[in-house]
Structure 1
Amino acid sequence: MRIGITGATGFIGGHLAALAHSRGHAVVAYSRGAHAVPAADELLQLPAKAPHALPETHLDALVHLSGESLMGLWTSEKRDRIWKSRVNFTESLVTHLGTWKAENRPKVLVCASGAGFYGNSGADAVDETSPQGQGFLADVCAGWEAAAHRAEALGMRVITSRTGMVLGRDGGAFPLLRRVFACGLGGRLGSGRQWMSWIHIDDAVQILLQAITTETVSGPLNLCAPEAVTNAEFTQKLAAALHRPAFFHAPAFALKLLLRGMADEMLLGGQRVIPLVAIKMGHAFAHPTLSGALASLV
């Protein structure tokens, strides 16, 4: 297959490009800059004034991973950038794909989303059949997915990957967490009872590529390991993997004061996500447990 990737210079995109290339697929990387993508067979520059206007080329699949980082203070301006870079950008991207020649247009569109779609689900397990939750992130994810599903009118199969925390040595949250915990400064956030859904980067990209090549897969796809853990469990297992104590505790009131809405939705709330579609697809998780995943990373 000929697979296009927006965000190919990022953490997940880079690993997906490498895996696809190793499996014999041709990778077309879309980039705003001149950043090298070693696994790409072709690198196409995005127009500076209209980055949604992907240069046309024949594609069998397009994986859309780019978007404004969620990290930082959620000011009104930050929230606006998050919404526009995901919902508005994807709407414009799909509209632009409609201008492509039918023979060049990808047959499948994979669009990133997030486990935040489910809101703060507490201890209740959620899967791809569960309804949308409440909160800013849930609204963003729902809008993002709706924008992607507009591509179905163009004859595309659409997959929306509801991604949890992706763990890898070279990107995502893990390198920072490792440094903090290695210094003995790790600890639980708030009560520690909030659920965390995570996945090892190797499993994440293998599931994405398998979904691309499996014609029966469409709609939401939970990109999470089968073992969700509480924040307290995550803290204990990461500290154990690094052979360091984790005595520190970040009180909920302090996180809310410092980080505003981001704390409630990303740090003090969570989801206990079941990757039902990946399991039914037959994916054999290389890292099904957090302890095993952390051992491979440290």
Structure 2
Amino acid sequence: MRIGLTGATGFIGSHLALLAHGQGHQIVAYSRGKKAPPVADEQQMQPKQAPHALPQTRLDALVHLAGESLMGLWTAEKRDRIWKSRVDFTEALVAHLGTWEEKNRPKVLVCASGAGFYGNSGAAPVDESSPRGEGFLADVCAGWEKAAHRAEALGMRVITLRTSMVLGRDGGAFPLLRRVFGWGLGGRLGSGQQWMSWIHLHDAVRIILKAITTESVSGPVNLCAPEAVTNAEFTQKLAAALKRPAFFHAPAFALRLLLRGMADEMLLGGQRAIPRAAMEMGHEFEHPDLSSALTRLV
């Protein structure tokens, strides 16, 4: 297949390109001036806010992973950038794909989303059939997915990736967590009872590629491991893998004071997500439990 990748130089995109190339697929990398992954067969410029400038080329699938980082203070300006880079950009991207010649238009659109779709779901397990939750992230994910599904009117199969925390050595949250815990400064956040869904990078990219190549797969796919854990359990297992203490505790009121709305939705709330779609498509997890995943990473 000829697979286009927005966000091709990012943490997940670069590893997905490597896996897909290794399985014999051609990669068209879209990036904002950064050097494309060395396995890319072609590189195109990825416009920041002008998807109509995305050059037309023949694609079998398009994987859309680009978007404003969620990290940082959620000021009004930051929220606006998050919304525009995800929802508005995807709406414009799908409209632009509608102008492509049918022979060139991808048959599959894979669009990033997030487990934040479910809001703070507490201890109740959630799978792809569960309703959306409440909060800014739930609104963004719902809008993002709605924008992506407009491609169905163009005859495209649409997959939305409800991504949990992706653990890898060279990107995402893990390098920072490793440094903090390595210094002996790790600890639980708030009560520690909030659920955390996660997935090892190797499983994440394999699920994405399998979803692309499996014609029966469409709609939401929870990108998470079968074993969700509480924040307290995650803290304990990471400290054990690093052989470091984790005595520090970040009180909820302090996190809310420092980080405002971001704290409640990203640190003090969470989801106990289940990868039903991934298991139904036959994915066998390389890292199904957190202890083995962390041991491998460190």
TM bucket, shorter chain: over 0.9
Deviations 1:188-246 (A, max 9, x none): 00000000000000000000000000000000000000000000000000000000000
Distance 1:182 1:92, change over 3 A: same
Deviations 1:102-143 (A, max 9, x none): 000000000000000000000000000000000000000000
Structure 1 residue matching 2:53: 3-state secondary structure: coil
Distance 1:52 1:201, change over 3 A: farther
Hey, what's the Cα distance between the residues in 2 that align with 1:48 and 1:128? Answer: 30
Structure 2 residue matching 1:4: 3-state secondary structure: strand
2:231 equivalent in structure 1: 231
Moved over 4 A (4+): none
**Alpha-carbon deviation of 1:39?**
1.6
Structure 1 residue matching 2:283: 3-state secondary structure: coil
Q: Given that residues 123 and 271 in structure 1 are in contact (C-alpha distance below 8 angstroms), is that contact kept between their aligned partners in structure 2?
A: yes
**Alpha-carbon deviation of 1:47?**
4.1
Q: Given that residues 185 and 246 in structure 2 are in contact (C-alpha distance below 8 angstroms), is that contact kept between their aligned partners in structure 1?
A: yes
Q: Given that residues 117 and 142 in structure 2 are in contact (C-alpha distance below 8 angstroms), is that contact kept between their aligned partners in structure 1?
A: yes
Letter in 2 for 1:23: Q
Q: Given that residues 52 and 89 in structure 1 are in contact (C-alpha distance below 8 angstroms), is that contact kept between their aligned partners in structure 2?
A: no
**Alpha-carbon deviation of 1:53?**
3.0
Distance 1:85 1:48, change over 3 A: closer
Hey, what's the Cα distance between the residues in 2 that align with 1:48 and 1:63? Answer: 16
Distance 1:193 1:19, change over 3 A: same
RMSD: 0.9
In the alignment, does 2:181 pair up with 1:181?
Answer: yes
**Alpha-carbon deviation of 1:65?**
0.1
1:13 equivalent in structure 2: 13
Distance 1:209 1:49, change over 3 A: closer
In the alignment, does 2:26 pair up with 1:26?
Answer: yes
Structure 2 residue matching 1:57: 3-state secondary structure: coil
Distance 1:159 1:244, change over 3 A: same
2:116 equivalent in structure 1: 116
Q: Given that residues 119 and 135 in structure 2 are in contact (C-alpha distance below 8 angstroms), is that contact kept between their aligned partners in structure 1?
A: yes
In the alignment, does 2:272 pair up with 1:262?
Answer: no
2:83 equivalent in structure 1: 83
In the alignment, does 2:95 pair up with 1:92?
Answer: no
Hey, what's the Cα distance between the residues in 1 that align with 2:44 and 2:246? Answer: 45
Q: Given that residues 6 and 64 in structure 1 are in contact (C-alpha distance below 8 angstroms), is that contact kept between their aligned partners in structure 2?
A: yes
User: When the two structures are aligned, how many residues end up with a matched partner?
Assistant: 298
Structure 1 residue matching 2:24: 3-state secondary structure: coil
2:107 equivalent in structure 1: 107
Structure 1 residue matching 2:185: 3-state secondary structure: coil
TM-score, reference length from structure 2? 0.99
**Alpha-carbon deviation of 1:52?**
5.0
Hey, what's the Cα distance between the residues in 2 that align with 1:81 and 1:256? Answer: 21
Hey, what's the Cα distance between the residues in 1 that align with 2:155 and 2:149? Answer: 10
Hey, what's the Cα distance between the residues in 2 that align with 1:18 and 1:52? Answer: 27
1:220 equivalent in structure 2: 220
Letter in 2 for 1:297: L
1:244 equivalent in structure 2: 244
**Alpha-carbon deviation of 1:90?**
0.1
Letter in 2 for 1:290: L
Gaps of 5+ in 2: none
Structure 2 residue matching 1:141: 3-state secondary structure: helix
Q: Given that residues 165 and 197 in structure 1 are in contact (C-alpha distance below 8 angstroms), is that contact kept between their aligned partners in structure 2?
A: yes
Hey, what's the Cα distance between the residues in 2 that align with 1:81 and 1:89? Answer: 10
Letter in 2 for 1:176: L
Letter in 2 for 1:139: D
Hey, what's the Cα distance between the residues in 1 that align with 2:254 and 2:32? Answer: 37
**Alpha-carbon deviation of 1:51?**
4.2
Structure 2 residue matching 1:106: 3-state secondary structure: coil
- Segment drifting more, 206-215 vs 37-46: 37-46
Q: Given that residues 9 and 36 in structure 2 are in contact (C-alpha distance below 8 angstroms), is that contact kept between their aligned partners in structure 1?
A: yes
Hey, what's the Cα distance between the residues in 2 that align with 1:100 and 1:272? Answer: 40
In the alignment, does 2:123 pair up with 1:129?
Answer: no
Q: Given that residues 20 and 209 in structure 1 are in contact (C-alpha distance below 8 angstroms), is that contact kept between their aligned partners in structure 2?
A: yes
**Alpha-carbon deviation of 1:70?**
0.3
Distance 1:275 1:49, change over 3 A: closer
Letter in 2 for 1:89: F
State the percentage of identical aligned residues. 81
In the alignment, does 2:134 pair up with 1:141?
Answer: no
- Segment drifting more, 43-52 vs 98-107: 43-52
In the alignment, does 2:77 pair up with 1:74?
Answer: no
